[in-house]
Chain A
Amino acid sequence: MHTILRFGVGAMLSAALAAAPMAGASAKDKVKVAFIGPLSGGNASIGVGGRNSADLAVKIRNADPKAKYTYELFSQDDECKPNVGVQVATKAASDPKTVAAIAHYCSAVAMSTVDVYHKFGMPMIVWGAVLPDITYGNDYKEIHRVNGTMVNQNEVAADFMTKQGFKTWVILHDTTDYGKGHNAYFSKFLKEKGGNVLATFGVTADQQDFTAELTKAKELKPDVIYFGGLTPLGVRIRQQMDKLGIKAQFEGVSGIVSAAFIEGLDPKLAEGILAFREGAPVEKLPGGKYFMEQYDKAKYDQGPDAYGAFSFAATTLVLDAIEAVGPNRKKVTEYLSKVQNKDSITGPISFDDHGQNTVAAITKYVIQDGKWVLWEDSEYAAGKRKLAGK
C-alpha cells in the first residue's frame, strides 16, 4: 500500500516536473511585496480589511497567466503603534526579496516609518493614513499615497457642519500627530466658516476615562462634540457622553469610519453620528462593483471596511510597476513617481511631486440604523430624521 502510494506520488511529481517548462507556470520567479497595517488592537477591523484587499489583488494577479512573476504577500501587524511599526517596516525593508510595501493606516505609525523605507530605498504606498506630513513633510521619493489627506476632509467637514446650523464646538483630539493634525485643520477651517470652538482637550491615545473632559464640555453646552482620533477612543468618548447625559451632536473624522466603531456601540448611541472621509464609498467607485464581486468571491471572513479599496488599488499599482520594470526597488520607485492618470478601482491615480495622489472627493457619512450611510442618501438629509439638537 505504502509503496504504491509513494510510487504514485513520485510518478505524479516527475510528470509535473517534466511538464513544468512547457506550462511555464511554475518557472515564474517569486516576488514578495509587504503589507503593513493594524491587524490587532482596536483598529484591527480596518487593518484586516486592508490586508484581505491586498491579498485579493495578489491572488488575482497570480491567477493571471500573463503575469511575469508569482507574487507573495508578506503581511505584518504594526498594532497601530509607532515602535512596532518601525520594527516590522525594518523587517520588511531589510529583506532584499521584498520589493515594495503597501503600508499603514495609522498616521502616527507612518510618520515614524517613512525614514525606514527611505533608508532602505524601498518604495512604499500608503493605503490609509491621512496626515499630510507623511508625504509633504519630507522629500523621500519612495513614499506615495493613494488616499487623500485630512486637509480636504476637515475643510468639507467645517463647511458642512456650519451649513447645518451648528454654531459651537468642543474639540477632543488624541495627542498623536494624527489627532493634533485633525484639531489644527478643523479649527482653522471652522474659524474661516464662522464656527466657534469653546474648548479643546488633548487626550492620550490610550486614555480610558474622559469624564473630567466631558463634564467640562457639558458645562460649556456646545452644539457639537468633535473628536479627532481613531475608533477605540471614539467608542469610549461616545459611551461616556451618554453616561454624563450630554446631548450634543457627535462628529468624528475618517478615523472612526469603520465597522468596528458601530459594533462597539449600542445602536441607540451610534445613530446620527457624523464623519467625513476622503474618497467615494466602495459602491460609488468606478471599479467598486468589480472589487466587491471579487472580494465576495474570495470569501474572507470579514469585509474590506473603509480603506480596503485603497489597499487593493495600491497593491495593484505596485504589482503593475513590478510587471513593467521588474522586481527592482529603484526602478519601481522611478515608475511610481511617474504615475499620471493611471486607472484604478478608486478612479485615476496621479502622484504629485511628493507622491501624493490628487483625489479631491470627500464623502460625508452619517450612521443610520447601524450602518455608515452616505449623507446624501440618508433620511437625515431628506429631513425624515434629525441630528442631535436640531
Chain B
Amino acid sequence: MALLGQYLVNGIMLGTIYALVAVGFTLFFGVLDVIKFSHGDVLMVGAFAGFTAAMAVAAVGISNPVLQLAASVVFALSVTAALGAAIAKWLILPLKHAPRMNILLVTLMLGTALREAVRLFYPDGSNPKAFPALLPTSALTLGDFTLRADSAILVAAGISVIVGLHLLINRTRLGLAIRAVAQDEETARTMGINYALVVLVTFALGSGIAAVAGVMNGLYYNEVNFGMGLLLGLIGFSAAIIGGLGNLYGAILGGFLFAMLQMLGAVAMPFASAYKDVFAFAVVIALMAWKPTGLIPERASERV
C-alpha cells in the first residue's frame, strides 16, 4: 500500500512536468493551429537560463537558496518568454499563410539549432551540468513511503502554475482575448482585439511555462543537459495529442496519463523496464487509433 503511494507520488511528479510541457503545445495549437516543434528545446534553453542565473547569484556571494531560486525562475521565465515571442513574431506569424508543413519544419529546425547552439556556445555545454539543490531535502517517511519536501514543493508549484493558467484563461480580459482569437480570428479582429499582440503573448506564456518545467526538471534531477528537451518535447507533444490538442484540460490529463503509463511499463509489465518508453508510446498509438481527436476533443466553442 505504501509502495502504491510511492509510485503514485513519482507518477504525479513526472506527470506535472509533462503536463506543463503539453499545455504549451495545446496553447499554440489553440490560437494559431500550429505545432511548434522547438518547444522542448525552448524548455532546455529555459533550464540553462535558470541554471546560469542560479550560478551567477551564487558567484556574487548570495548563498540564500530562496534568492537563488527566485533569480533562477525569474531569469528563466523572462528569457524563454522573450524567445517564445520572438519565434512567434519572426518565424511563425510571417509563415501563417504558408503550408502548415513549413511551420512544422521551420520549428523543427529551430529546435535543432537551439540545441546545437547551447552545446557549442554555452561554456562546456556538451557536458551535463549539476543543477544546485535549492530546495529543502528533509523527508517524510512512513514505512516504505518516502516523500521529500523538494518533490512536494515542486508538485505544488507545478499545480499552482496550471491553476494560475486556468484562471488567467477563464477569468481575465487577456484570457478572453486569447479565447476569442482561438475561436475565430476574423471576428476577434473585428471586435477590436489586437491579434498579433495576443499571439505573441500566448507564445510568451506557453514558453514561460516550459521554462518552469525546465527549472523543475533541473531541481528534481539535479542535472541539466543540452539534449533534455528532445524527449520531454516529444512526450509533451504526445500528451497534448492524446488529451486532445487545443484543449487545456486534455493536455494536463495527457501529461499525467503518460507518466502513469511509463510507471506501469517499468513496474507492472513482464518485460525489462528499458522498454517502458516503448510501452508508453505504443499505448499512445493505440489510444490515437481509438480516439483520433484525443480523450477530451477540442470543441470549437471551448478552444483555449
Contact = CB atoms under 8 A, between A and B. Distances in A.
Interface of A: 40-42, 44, 79, 175, 201-204, 206-209, 211-213, 215-216, 218-219, 232, 235-236, 239-240, 243-245, 263-264, 266
Nearest to A240: B221
Nearest to A172: B273
A38 B274 CA distance: 24
Contacts of B128: 41-42, 232
Nearest to A245: B146
Contacts of B127: 40-42, 44
Contact of A215 (B6, B133, B151, B228): B6
Contacts of B98: none
Given A209-B14, A243-B151, A264 B273 contact: no
12 contacts: A41-B128, A175-B272, A203-B273, A208-B231, A211-B10, A212-B7, A212-B276, A213-B267, A215-B6, A215-B267, A218-B6, A245-B141
Nearest to B144: A218
Nearest to B221: A208
Contact of B221 (A202, A209, A218): A209
Contacts of A203: 273-274
A192 B64 CA distance: 53
A211 B151 CA distance: 12
A202 B133 CA distance: 28
A208 B228 contact: yes
Given A41-B126, A41-B127, A245-B139, A219 B274 contact: no
Given A41-B126, A245-B146, A216 B267 contact: yes
B221 A236 contact: yes
6 cross-chain pairs, A with B, having the tightest CB-CB distances, nearest first:
A245-B146, A212-B266, A40-B126, A211-B10, A202-B272, A202-B274
B227 interface: yes
A218 B151 contact: no
Interface in B267-282: 267, 272-274, 276-277
Contact of A244 (B146, B223, B273): B146
A389 B222 CA distance: 26
Contacts of B126: 40-41, 44, 79
Nearest to A77: B126
B296 to A, nearest CB: 26
Interface in B215-230: 221-223, 227-228
Contacts of A41: 126-128
Interface of B: 3, 6-7, 10, 13-14, 126-128, 130, 133, 139, 141, 144, 146, 148, 151, 221-223, 227-228, 231, 262-263, 266-267, 272-274, 276-277
Nearest to B275: A202
Contact of B3 (A79, A219, A263, A264): A219
Contacts of A44: 126-127
B262 A212 contact: yes
Nearest to B276: A212
Secondary structure at the B interface, as helix, strand, loop or mixed, is helix
Contact of A243 (B130, B148, B228): B148
B1 to A, nearest CB: 11
Contacts of A216: 266-267, 273
Contacts of B144: 218-219
A79 B127 CA distance: 10
A113 B22 CA distance: 40
A216 B126 CA distance: 32
Contacts of A264: 130
A215 B227 CA distance: 26
Contacts of B151: 243
Nearest to A246: B146
A76 to B, nearest CB: 14
Nearest to B146: A245
A187 to B, nearest CB: 14
A209 B235 CA distance: 14
A77 B3 CA distance: 43
A241 to B, nearest CB: 11
A221 to B, nearest CB: 9
A361 B13 CA distance: 45
A209 B276 CA distance: 11
Nearest to A268: B137
A40 B10 CA distance: 31
A240 B223 CA distance: 12
Contacts of B222: 239
Contacts of A212: 7, 10, 262-263, 266-267, 273, 276
Contacts of B6: 215, 218, 244
Contacts of B273: 201-203, 212-213, 216
B20 to A, nearest CB: 15
B276 A206 contact: no
Given A175-B274, A208-B221, A218-B3, 5 more contacts: A202-B274, A211-B13, A235-B223, A236-B223, A245-B141
Contacts of A263: 130
Contacts of B130: 263-264
A211 B15 CA distance: 13
